[in-house]
Chains A and B, each alone.
Chain A
């Protein structure tokens, strides 16, 4: 699948996946906020734990842990790069 370069959303990733951001389908302040936090094109995101009720999910980006709701993460697109789990 990855060879076809089909983009998946961050929300579809599961625990332990390593994901590279290709596109942010978000406008306005939230986009800026996400960029500030390190969700920039080309950044690696590791999917960490879910909250007990399933949403939000914690991600590790740029050495920090950031929680996003599904509403946000479903608009962040990129590729899953498996294999280098931490």
Chain B
């Protein structure tokens, strides 16, 4: 049986590593400073008889490839296509954290939003209506406190439902101004011809508009390798290059 791969994304300092340790029982070093997780960590756990591999991505503010960290996180989601991505948000500064969540939603459908540090937020008088947020974004939202191990069961149950197709998501996709939308449509249709549905084409179009040309070269490279793999597999002798 194949293990489900789950990516953990989130801003720096949202307690991703704490959640990672809680779920996997591993002892990844934790600390309250940005940039602590420099190398992505991998751990595994079992839930309801199913295997999960959890990948702790570097904490980033966005996925626009401004830095190596962001590229690592982005590439993992796009190229490795995990079965689900948990976006960990800091309940005490939801606004900035939601940026990242919205970006992840442009890239993949199987997303769970996990609002961490919820007890800290409640102590500060912040109430978050997770049901409403879930409706607005079209994906499951779970409130947890990783360090006090609150809400972990619910998170795991939701995760299991998601990877087993018991929850269908309808992720919210950003809409932009008419000018941008027109450009997206135009580019997207062409990209679809080229990459079919291997990669989220709307997101790709946006990244291109965003001026990230390196990404498309990377994708082309990745895609060619993939096709080559398939080809070599089918007809091992006749490969020419």
**For the complex, is A36 an interface residue (Cβ under 8 Å from B)?**
yes
Q: Which residue of chain B is the closest to A40 with respect to CB atoms?
A: B99
- Say yes or no: B96 contacts A29, CB within 8 Å: no
Chain B 46-97 residues near chain A, CB threshold 8 A:
61-62, 64, 66-67, 92-96
How near does chain A come to B63, taking the closest CB pair, in angstroms?
10
Query: Within 8 Å CB of B95, what residues of A?
Result: 38, 62-63
Q: Which residue of chain B is the closest to A30 with respect to CB atoms?
A: B66
Query: Within 8 Å CB of A3, what residues of B?
Result: none
- Say yes or no: A37 contacts B96, CB within 8 Å: yes
- Say yes or no: A62 contacts B66, CB within 8 Å: no
Chain A 11-25 residues near chain B, CB threshold 8 A:
none
- Say yes or no: A37 contacts B61, CB within 8 Å: yes
- Say yes or no: B66 contacts A38, CB within 8 Å: no
**For the complex, is A64 an interface residue (Cβ under 8 Å from B)?**
yes
- Say yes or no: A36 contacts B61, CB within 8 Å: yes
**For the complex, is A32 an interface residue (Cβ under 8 Å from B)?**
yes
Task: Give A62 to B100 CA distance when docked, in angstroms.
Answer: 14
Query: Within 8 Å CB of A64, what residues of B?
Result: 93, 96
Q: Which residue of chain A is the closest to B126 with respect to CB atoms?
A: A63
Per-residue CB contact flags for chain A residues 33-44 toward chain B (1 = under 8 Å, else 0) read: 100111000000
- Say yes or no: A36 contacts B62, CB within 8 Å: yes
- Say yes or no: A36 contacts B64, CB within 8 Å: yes
How near does chain B come to A76, taking the closest CB pair, in angstroms?
17
Nearest 3 pairs between A and B by C-beta? A36-B61, A63-B93, A36-B62
